């Protein structure tokens, strides 16, 4: 399995990867987002190319260079990301590393919102649910081998297993974002893979690049034995 990169174990495979945060507009100058850096998704794209795959990387706003030979598509909102993924289908393997905003403002103000000059009241922002990109793609008749990420601050394996089932995934990657050295904006990661058929496998804390290569080797083995 360690020879995956020499053997180019993903040759001929189309791999779709989502990465980064999404931004959900409130008005022309404001938005809701999160602290995702995109590093894990970009590292996975690079590793998948090294393993011989054709890679489409659909990313929210991040400050990262595009890895060599990766087809990068930039999007802003969750709905844009879903539309870009649907346009990029079919694929053999989907890895959903994006931190998609769960909600967006129900209405986007046309003009920059002004404070009410006559009162010191707060502001209530009505939010609505965004589509679930991973569950949508994993629910299609042409569903790819589907890999999700579960970033949790508590009950990590329980919540991750629930997502594996609820979204109809083949595999989920659980990581503990309560630990600041392996969380959203960090250089390193430590993960536990929960595989629908194979159960749990853990990888010790190391750089996101090394974790990405280990994960791509694991997934390539699973794809090639299926
Ligand atoms: N995901 C997605 N589209 C969404 C929300 C999540 O594709 N609208 C994907 C993420 O990319 C990740 C997986 O689903 O691979 C799990 O995301 P997570 O935020 O941990 O789970 P949620 O289902 O959003 O549940 P919650 O945030 O309530 O824990
Ligand atoms: Ca979420």
Is 182 within a domain? yes
Question: What is the span of the domain harbouring residue 175?
Answer: 4-103+126-225
Is 164 within a domain? yes
pLDDT digits (tens, 9 = 90+) for 51-71: 999 999 999 999 999 999 999
Say which DSSP state 139 is in. Answer: T
34 is catalytic: yes
Is 113 within a domain? no
Is 189 within a domain? yes
Q: What is d(CA 18, CA 86) in angstroms, rounded to the nearest whole number?
A: 12
pLDDT digits (tens, 9 = 90+) for 9-57: 999 999 999 999 999 999 999 999 999 999 999 999 999 999 999 999 9
How many Å lie between the centroid of ligand 2 and the Cα of residue 78? 11
Q: What is d(CA 43, CA 21) in angstroms, rounded to the nearest whole number?
A: 15
Is 111 within a domain? no
User: What is the predicted pLDDT for the residue at 181?
Assistant: 87
Q: Is the pLDDT of residue 1 over 60?
A: no
Is residue 55 a contact partner of residue 69, using CB atoms and an 8 Å limit?
yes
25, 34, 168, 179: the active-site residue: 34
Is 16 within a domain? yes
Is residue 61 a contact partner of residue 23, using CB atoms and an 8 Å limit?
yes
**DSSP secondary structure string for all residues of 4-56:** HHHHTTTTT-EEEEEESB--EEEETTEEE-----SHHHHHHHHHHHHTT-EEE
CATH of residue 41: 3.40.50.10300
pLDDT bracket for residue 4 (50, 70, 90): low
* Nearest ligand to the C-alpha atom of residue 159: 1
Is 174 within a domain? yes
Is residue 209 a contact partner of residue 202, using CB atoms and an 8 Å limit?
no
| Ligand 1 binding residues, C-beta < 6 A | 18, 78, 96, 98, 100, 102, 130, 132-134, 148-151, 163
Is 204 within a domain? yes
pLDDT bracket for residue 226 (50, 70, 90): low
E-strand ranges in the chain read: 14-19, 24-27, 30-32, 54-59, 70-74, 93-96, 103-105, 127-129, 145-152, 171-176, 188-195, 199-207
pLDDT digits (tens, 9 = 90+) for 157-175: 999 999 999 999 999 999 9
Total domains, the chain: 1
């Amino acid at each position: 399995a360690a020879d995956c990169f020499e053997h180019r174990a993903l040759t001929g495979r189309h791999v779709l990867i989502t990465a980064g945060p999404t931004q959900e507009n409130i008005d022309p100058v404001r938005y809701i987002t999160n602290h995702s850096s995109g590093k894990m998704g970009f590292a996975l794209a690079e590793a998948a190319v090294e393993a011989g795959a054709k890679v489409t990387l659909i990313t929210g706003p991040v400050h990262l260079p595009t890895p060599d030979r990766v087809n990068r598509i930039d999007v802003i909102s969750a709905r844009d990301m879903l539309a870009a993924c649907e346009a990029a289908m079919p694929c053999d393997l989907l890895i959903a590393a994006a931190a998609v905003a769960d909600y967006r403002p129900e209405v986007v103000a046309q003009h920059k919102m002004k404070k009410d000059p006559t009162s010191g009241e707060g502001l209530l922002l009505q939010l609505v649910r965004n589509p679930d990109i991973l569950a949508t793609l994993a629910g299609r008749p042409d569903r790819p081998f589907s890999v999700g990420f579960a970033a949790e601050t508590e009950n990590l394996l329980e919540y991750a297993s629930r997502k594996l089932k609820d979204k109809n995934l083949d595999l989920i990657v659980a990581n503990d974002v309560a630990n600041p050295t392996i969380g959203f904006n960090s250089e390193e990661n430590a993960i536990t893979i929960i595989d629908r058929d194979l159960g749990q496998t853990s990888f010790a804390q190391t750089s996101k690049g090394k974790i990405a290569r280990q994960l791509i080797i694991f997934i390539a083995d699973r794809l090639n034995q299926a």
